[in-house]
Structure formats: structure tokens, C-alpha cells
Chains A and B, each alone.
Chain A
Amino acid sequence: MDKNIKTEERFAQPANVETASAPKTAKSKLRTSPASAPRLGVEKTYKLYINGKFPRTESGRYFAVTDAKGRIVANMCRASRKDFREAVVAARAAFSGWSSASAYLRGQILYRVAEMLEGRSEQFVGELTTMGLSKRAAAQEVTAAIDCIVYYAGWTDKYQQIFSSVNPVASSHFNFSILEPTGVVSTIAPQEKCLLGFVSEIAPIIAGGNTAVALASEENPLCAVSFAEVLHSSDVPPGVVNILSGFRDELTEQFASHMDVNAVIYNGEDMNAIKLVQEQAANNIKRVIIRKKPAAPDPYQIMDVQETKTTWHPIGG
């Protein structure tokens, strides 16, 4: 299992812009004791997040993630189609409970996620700077991610009021249309903005009561995988969000073709991949959402993975 054994070389300096020339063995501030008392850092193993647990990929495969300077910072799990299958099983099992949780509770839990992310901001800033962002840009992305979650936490008990309807039918019936979550949503998260992009993807899915299986940015999966820790400590029930790291080329087809997935979201502009997603989605008439460019948070992204259910009942004595 040496692929999971940490080497000292994997992390760059936190303020990498300034210290880009530092030796490969330099330690991150986040992970080392003061320079006056050197000690060996305890490094994190990045794993998958399935059903509220952190398993390694069943395939035993990994891929190395490198920082802006090309240095290896982590060996990520290279998730397989079987990992994806397990994640879908978990998401399906979690759907009944999460979709019937009260909107208020979902809002509370999402807000809790924001609180936990706020508390761990430094960790995420560190990961982002490791991957090449300036400290300022990293801090901005982390705060934007936190605010994005707070934003959607507030929507959980409001979008229904905006987008549902009472329909004035001509017959003697009471008729109303409400929104229900589409079901299990698979999403291939944006390559860019590895934290904000990922969070912006997950939040509207789960705010609306869906459960998710998400593929982290392939180029920079650190934040997404670390975000699992935030979810894990935030009362998000197991299986509601499942996070895989791996190769887009390998997993896109699986994300789109699985018969127990109800909607697939693809972020990116690769026309071949988009075509593949759309074709495979037809296996079970999945809803397909293609996001070529990142969009600012809005409730229409919740609506993308909602179904309209219309109920009729006679009005009589």
C-alpha cells in the first residue's frame, strides 16, 4: 500500500508564490510545528467518501496530484466504476430519508456545513495555495464557498414557495403542483475552482433534497476530498453526498449511464464528453444538465434537479 504512504515531499510551501524556490521537503505551516522545534508532520491520506465513510478505492489504484511546480502533493484514489456503483447504492439508500427531511432541517444542516467550513478555512486556504493560488485568492474562494452554502441553506425552505403553484382548474378539483427532488444526482464537478466550484455544485443538489455522487476536479481534487471531512462533521446523513476522485475520461460514461441515477450534471466544455453524457443518459431518460461555464448561485440551480408533481383532489361535501 505504499501509494498511500506519505512522503515528505508532497506538500509545497503554503505561501508558495513567495517560497516557490523552497526545497521540496519544506513543510506547510498548517502541518508543521514552529521552525524552532522541527517535528515530522502527520500527513493526511486522501480517500473517497462513500456512505459516510472514507474508504480507499476498491481498485487499489491511485494517481498523483502535483502542485503548480509539478511536485507531488498527494496520491489520490483513482476511483473505479465499482466505487461509483457503491456510491450510487449509498445515495439511493439515503434518498428516502433526506428527501423527506423537513426543509428547515436541511437548511440547518447546510448552515452547519458552512459553520464547519468556516472553522476549517485555514486548511482549505492551505490546500488552495498549495495548488497555486495566491493566499488572497485562496481566502476569497474559501469565503465564497462558505457564503454559497449559507445562501443555499436559506433557500431550502423558500424555493418551494417561489416555484410551486396552485392551479385554477375548471373542474371541481383542488389542484396544486409542488417540487420534489429528482432523486440520485451524479455530477462531474468543474475542473476550475476546485472548492467553490465543487461546493456550488453540491449545495443546490442537496438543498433540494436530492442525494449526490460527485466526481471531484481531476486536476485539483484536494479541496473536494477534504470537503468530505466538513460534511462528515456537519450532520449530513451518510450517503447524501458521496465524493469520488478519479479520471473524468474513465468515469464520465459511468456517471451518465447508470440506471439508478436520475440526473447527471456535467461541468465543462469538452464536446465529446458532453455528447457522451447526453447519449448515455438516454438509457433511462436521465435529466441532463450541462454547465459550460460556472454560474453565480441562484435557485434555478436547485430547480435543475427538481420534478414538478401535480396533485388533483375533488372538492366536495
Chain B
Amino acid sequence: MTQTAPRTETIAPAPDHVVSVDQVGIEERVARLGSRSIKKSSKVQALKLILSQIDLTTLEGQDTPGKVRQLCHKAMSLHDTLPDIPHVAAVCVYPMMVAEAKKALGDSGIHIASVATAFPSGMATTQAKLDEIKLAVAEGADEIDMVISRGKFLQGEYQAVFDEIVLCKEACGDAHLKVILETGELGTLDRVRHASDLAMHAGADFIKTSTGKIQPAATLPVTLVMLQAIRDYYYETGRMVGMKPAGGISKAKLAIQYLVTLRETLGEAWMTPEWFRFGASSLANDVLMQLQKQQTGVYQSGDYFSKD
């Protein structure tokens, strides 16, 4: 990776076929999936799976190495008094904090994800973005969460958006690339679908809904549209792409609905941390409380679960 100057020529043609999405149809499907009732053993199984799929996140201006260390400890030991609790999939931090996280997590097997590319706005030159990715990777990031240039996308400069993702993917090297669409700024589900297709064709390993800094962040309709895009891309290429809804998922019940949506759209192969993640900061505790309740039959209080 010695590339220094941004390319000016087109790397490869961006897909030009735009798939239409009917908003009401999506909402109805989501409502129907939401009516699935997950009880007992299937609920416990779902809750544990959710924990293992969490990208435990801190992305604040006030982040410090101390905060990151606390978060990493939580990631490794969610609630030691409950048996058979998996650790989360990753912690998600700014590039400046990657080194600290790396030190804290050691050989726990928890990945480090880092938001590069002038997160959250993406308002920087391509070169600055590539440099940031390289820094994060060099410091030990396993996964890069990039943002697309929404301004360019909304201007209709799809090829530029596509090319930038291709370059970012190159800059990642062995690190996995998650492409954040920031769906809350795209306006319609058709555009969510279009951006998903662009990102996957440009090489995204994951597509991700949101930075968490814009409302609305992840929603079930948006997630369903992205999952359908992943399925169609899989049909077309045979390559699996992962999915990460992020922002606003703080309750276990809602997270289970995401899993139901995942299961009934993509099936078994995607039901793992390798292919599905939740970007969340407070979801883990609610899931833990639900697990405790399943075990004891008693509804829980937040006072009994660590808040890091």
C-alpha cells in the first residue's frame, strides 16, 4: 500500500441498475416479522447470539484512554456471575484509541474496529481518509468502519463514491472494511438500496447503517432493505457480505427483532458474529438483564449490571 495520490480515472464502473423499493411494503414486512414471538429456549439462544455480535462502541469527543480501557474490560467480561456468556465481537473506537484498545484487549480474541475516514461526516479529502485508515490499521485495527461521502452521493456522483470505497478497501489491507451508508441522510429506501449495491460492488466486507450521530440511525426497514441487497448481491456474485445495524438499538427485544429479520431474509449462514454485528453502547446490559431474568424468572434492575 504505497498509494499516495488519489486516482483521477475511474477504477471500475459502478453498478448502474437501481433496484426500486416500496416503502410501505417494507414496513408491512417489518411489522409482520415484528409479530414473531420469541420465547424460552429460542430467546436464550438469541440473547447469547446478540451479545456475541455486539461491537461495543465509544465514539465521543470526550473519549480518553481510561474510558477505552474500561470499555475493553467490559467487552471481555460482560457479567461474570452469569455462566456461559460469550464476549462481544469487537470494540469500536476512534483511530487515536486503537493502540490503547489493542493493549487492553491483548489476546482476548475481541476485534478492534475503528471508525476512519473523517468519521462521522466524511468531509475530508480522499487522501486524508486513506491516511487515517492506514494509521488505524498500523496501530492494530482489525476492522475499519468508513463513512461514504453522502454529499457526493446525493449530488449524483455515484462513481466518485464507488471509487473512494475501492481505494479505502485497498488501504485496509487485511483489515475488514465496513461501509457506513448513514442511511438517515439518504432520504429514501431506494437510495439505501442503491448505496448498498455501490458499497458491495466496490468491495465492502460489511455494510453498516449509521454512524450513530444522525437520527434516524438504524431502523428495521432500512436493515431489511440492506439485507435484501446483500442477498441479491450473493445471488449475483456468490460472495457473502456482512451487515451491521448501528445506533438506537439499546433493548434486547428490538435486537431480537433484528435477528428474526436476519434469519428470515438471509438464513442460517449469516447468523454469526462473522456476518452480523450490532453497533451499540448500551445494548449489552439490557441483553444481560434479560438473560438473568430468563434464568431467575425475576425482572432485573440496572443497578446490578456494570455500566462502563
Contact = CB atoms under 8 A, between A and B. Distances in A.
A314 B22 contact: yes
Nearest to B190: A317
A96 interface: no
A314 B189 CA distance: 14
Interface string A243-285: 0000000000000000000000000000000000000000000
Sorting the interface of chain A by its residue count into under 10, 10 to 19, 20 to 34 or 35 or more gives under 10
Contacts of B188: 317
Scoring A173, A314, A315, A316 by chain B CB atoms within 10 A of each residue's CB, the highest score goes to A316
Interface string A306-317: 000000001111
B19 to A, nearest CB: 15
A33 interface: no
Contacts of A315: 24
Interface string B22-65: 11110100000000000000000000000000000000000000
B187 A316 contact: no
Nearest to A172: B24
Interface string A52-90: 000000000000000000000000000000000000000
Interface string B234-251: 000000000000000000
Residue of B23, B25, B188 with most partner-chain A CB within 10 A: B23
Contacts of B189: 317
A172 B187 CA distance: 18
Contacts of A172: 24, 27
Interface in A147-191: 172-173
A82 B59 CA distance: 85
Contact of B187 (A173, A314, A317): A317
B126 to A, nearest CB: 31
B21 to A, nearest CB: 9
A244 B285 CA distance: 85
Nearest to A317: B188
Interface residues of B, number: 8
A169 B23 CA distance: 18
B186 to A, nearest CB: 11
B150 to A, nearest CB: 17
A314 B22 CA distance: 8
A313 to B, nearest CB: 9
Interface string A78-112: 00000000000000000000000000000000000
Contacts of B27: 172, 316
Contacts of B23: 314, 316-317
A67 B189 CA distance: 76
A315 B27 CA distance: 11
B211 to A, nearest CB: 22
A17 to B, nearest CB: 72
A295 to B, nearest CB: 45
Contacts of A317: 23, 187-189
A317 B24 CA distance: 9
B244 to A, nearest CB: 24
Interface in B188-217: 188-189
A317 B23 CA distance: 6
Nearest to B23: A316
A314 B20 CA distance: 14
A121 to B, nearest CB: 58
A173 B25 CA distance: 11
A302 to B, nearest CB: 35
Contacts of B24: 172-173, 314-316
A57 B189 CA distance: 64
B189 to A, nearest CB: 8
B225 to A, nearest CB: 12
Interface in B172-195: 187-189
A11 B256 CA distance: 91
A315 B22 CA distance: 9
A299 B24 CA distance: 38
Contacts of A314: 22-25
Max chain A CB contacts within 10 Å: which of B24, B27, B188?
Answer: B24
A173 B22 CA distance: 12
A314 B29 CA distance: 13
Contacts of B22: 314, 316
Interface in A121-165: none
A172 B22 CA distance: 12
A228 B27 CA distance: 57
A172 B189 CA distance: 16
A316 B225 CA distance: 14
B288 to A, nearest CB: 37
Contacts of B187: 317
B250 to A, nearest CB: 27
Interface of B: 22-25, 27, 187-189
17 contacts: A172-B24, A172-B27, A173-B24, A314-B22, A314-B23, A314-B24, A314-B25, A315-B24, A316-B22, A316-B23, A316-B24, A316-B25, A316-B27, A317-B23, A317-B187, A317-B188, A317-B189
Q: Which 10 A-B pairs have the closest CB atoms?
A: A316-B23, A314-B24, A316-B24, A317-B188, A172-B24, A317-B23, A314-B22, A316-B22, A314-B25, A315-B24
Given A314-B23, A316-B23, A316-B24, 12 more contacts: A172-B24, A172-B27, A173-B24, A314-B22, A314-B24, A314-B25, A315-B24, A316-B25, A316-B27, A317-B23, A317-B187, A317-B188
